[in-house]
Amino acid sequence: MAKKHSPKFLAVVEAARAEIPECEAKDLRMMLEDGKPLIVLDVRERHEFEAGHLAGAVHIGKGVLERDIEKHELPDDSRIVLYCGGGFRSAIAAKSLKEMGYSEAISLWGGWRGIQAEGLQIE
């Protein structure tokens, strides 16, 4: 069941979505299989990640993303797919990474729910 979000939050999300690339779970499946380097970041809260996540995903919560992303020493042109529950938080997070110079930050529209629906490997 989709959450009802506040209008101001939705406006921030829509503004972010207009500035960043997005993909869907079927696209993520292709990226996972294409042999090119890919980092998948789960930006949900720790308890959400611990309840289940995409196999191989790295957890960096949205609230600490900007502070902690550089600890992973990723090149600025790393292909990074970010996901949350449905694609709202990850859109904002991808925009933030783009502003930090990560040119290939992509938000997964549909998020965790899309990952499950696509039947991707989860842990």
Domain residue ranges in the chain: 23-118
CA 35 to chain CA centroid, Å, is 19
pTM of the model: 0.93
CB 22 within 8 A of CB 107: yes
pLDDT in single tens digits along all 123 residues of the chain: 457 889 999 999 999 999 999 999 999 999 999 999 999 999 999 999 999 999 999 999 999 999 999 999 999 999 999 999 999 999 999 999 999 999 999 999 999 999 999 999 999
Domain range 23-118, CATH architecture: 3-Layer(aba) Sandwich (3.40)
What's the token pair of residue 123?
Answer: 């842990």
Taking Cα atoms as reference points, which of 113, 99, 77, 117 lies closest to residue 20? 99
